[in-house]
Amino acid sequence: MGALAQILHRRSAVLCTANPDQTVRDAARLLNEREIGAVLVVEGKSLVGIFTERDLLRRVVARNRSLDKTRLEEVMTRDPITASPQEDRENAIRKMQQVGCRHLPIMVGDNVIDVVSIRDLLFHEIAEREAEVHQLRSYISGSY
């Protein structure tokens, strides 16, 4: 497996942020409009949390909390695990498995530059395996 940078270079950054004082409704709108599963919660330039579809369901909807009165800082996942672009994809998947998350903010120093999802990682892995199978079939059939 290669580095996360391989995935990041193949697509535009998927960076959507909100501040801790914004409401859950604001975040839900962002999730819907951008067709994404997570909003990074930043204070100034610092990543302080992440708010996901799962947080919306479990911490807001299931508890009958108000979308308009509940602030993100009340229901976000604080201090999410992160990775660097140079980090190995396998290690990133392992990290996500260990804490049970589906989104991984990508950091360069103290700056968040992107987010990858477990879906991004798995689709990239599948594409690599398909390319390998194609190469092996070509080799076996003598058409390489």
Give the CATH number for residue 60. Answer: 3.10.580.10
- Rounded to two decimals, the pTM is 0.81
Q: What is the mean pLDDT of residues 39-54?
A: 95
CA 47 to each of CA 26, 93, 113, 122: distance values in angstroms, whole numbers, following the listed order: 18, 20, 11, 25
What per-residue confidence (pLDDT) applies to 76?
Answer: 97
Looking at 35-107, list the stretches that DSSP marks H as alpha helix, in order from N- to C-terminal side: 53-55, 72-75, 89-99
CA 59 to each of CA 53, 72, 132: distance values in angstroms, whole numbers, following the listed order: 10, 10, 42
Looking at 38-88, list the stretches that DSSP marks H as alpha helix, in order from N- to C-terminal side: 53-55, 72-75
- Write out the residue range of the structural domain in which residue 18 sits: 4-141
Longest dimension (CA), the chain: 66
Number of domains in the chain: 1
E-strand ranges in the chain read 17-18, 38-43, 46-52, 77-78, 103-108, 111-117
Q: 98-127 pLDDT, tens per residue?
A: 999 999 999 999 999 999 988 888 765 666
